[in-house]
Structure 1
Amino acid sequence: MRKITAGLFIAADGVVESPEQWHFPYFNDEMGAAVGAQLGAADTVLLGRVTYDGFAAAWPGREDAGGEDAPMAKALGDARKVVVSRSDLAFAWRNSEQLKGDLVEGVTALKQEEGGPIGMSGSISVVRALLAAGLIDELHLFVHPIAVGKGLRLFDGHAEPIRLKLLENTVFSTGVLHTVYGPADN
């Protein structure tokens, strides 16, 4: 069975919304390597529509520009991108398709297919639903040393506890804490 890894930038107060407004001062080579290992190693990327739209607006141009992040941009472009949305979508970025039908059933089927890891970035509502369904194998939280104060939090309004087990923990020189959680053994 394929493994799903989800990565999120998260503030110390739990906010995951709009990381583009507070995340970049903390980005460095350490974080780039960790994100690259989690997301760049995936042959399939599972994204919500809003996250996909942001990626599709940025990464193809970065690949074409050939700059420092061109290898990551190429890896994302070459990966199969499966987009979760209730609306019908049209895609301009190569290797993109829409997940049709029920989210949990569709992702369960995706995990059963042949292939390598399935990576996720952002896509908060999708991550929430897949965590609740027990379909995420590794949750990579990049906890930033900032309290944003307002915004969507990862676990807001979750009805049932989700037990997790710490798999790995690294502190970057910027003070960002990279924690990797997996499902707790019950």
Structure 2
Amino acid sequence: MRKLVYYVAVTLDGFIAAEDGTYDGFIFEGDHMAGINAHYPETLPTQFREPFGLTDAPNQHFDTVLMGRHTYQVPGGLASPYAHLRQFVVSTQVTGTPSDVEVISSDAIGRVRSLKAEDGLDVWLCGGGKLAAELLPEIDRLLLKIHPVVFGRGIPLFDGKADIRKFQRTDARLFESGVSFMTYDRV
């Protein structure tokens, strides 16, 4: 069975974006970028794969991506940001998406359960915080890129009411850039 993996950048104080949805405070240069791109090339938006020499890089961990409305409609975003993956947007407000982006407008947990039951690579939840809180019962793994920055306020990692879930750290990678890459599996 496939896993639902919440793979996201986060600040030291637990935010995945600033209040306005931007993420300019994150570190986009340094040894962590090469390390992460080599291990998770499919998490780069399609438009950035060629400049990073990853145009033909196979998907190693994910073949499906889930996004909340704000993650999908990030300022300056693309209509099909991950064309190399099967794309889903969970929203009751998004309309007019390209044919390769499916909108899930109800029963997100049921749809995630059906995706997890399919054959294939894992399902990547790339944001946002509200969707992560809603899907927490189905999240099997957290992959957190922890940046050495504090936003003070913004969009939290889990934005909303969620029941307590325990996770166990199963891997840790530290980079000279100050970014740490932590893996937690649901207990």
TM-score, normalised by the number of residues in structure 2: 0.76
Which residue does 2:93 correspond to in 1? 87
**Alpha carbons 1:3, 1:118 under 8 Å: kept:** yes
Matched length: 167
The amino acid that maps onto 1:179 is M
Structure 2 residue 110 is matched with structure 1 residue 105: yes
Instruction: Sort the Cα spacing of 1:122 and 1:55 in 2 relative to 1 into closer, same or farther, 3 A.
Output: farther
Report matched runs for 1:1-186 at 5 Å: 1-18=1-18, 20-26=23-29, 28-36=33-41, 40-41=59-60, 42-54=62-74, 57-58=77-78, 76-92=82-98, 95-131=100-136, 133=137, 135-155=138-158, 158=161, 160-184=163-187
Instruction: Sort the Cα spacing of 1:16 and 1:182 in 2 relative to 1 into closer, same or farther, 3 A.
Output: same
The runs of 5 or more residues in structure 2 that have no matched partner are 45-58
* Alignment root-mean-square deviation, CA: 2.6
Query: Take 1:21 and 1:89, find their aligned partners in 2: how far apart are those partners?
Result: 27
The runs of 5 or more residues in structure 1 that have no matched partner are 61-72
Write the deviation string for residues 71-111 of structure 1: whole angstroms up to 9, x where unpaired: xx7xx31211011001252113x521112421111211221
TM-score, normalised by the number of residues in structure 1: 0.77
Deviation of 1:37 (Å): 6.4
**Higher helix fraction: Structure 1 or Structure 2?**
1
Query: Take 1:160 and 1:104, find their aligned partners in 2: how far apart are those partners?
Result: 15
Query: Take 1:14 and 1:90, find their aligned partners in 2: how far apart are those partners?
Result: 33
The amino acid that maps onto 1:4 is L
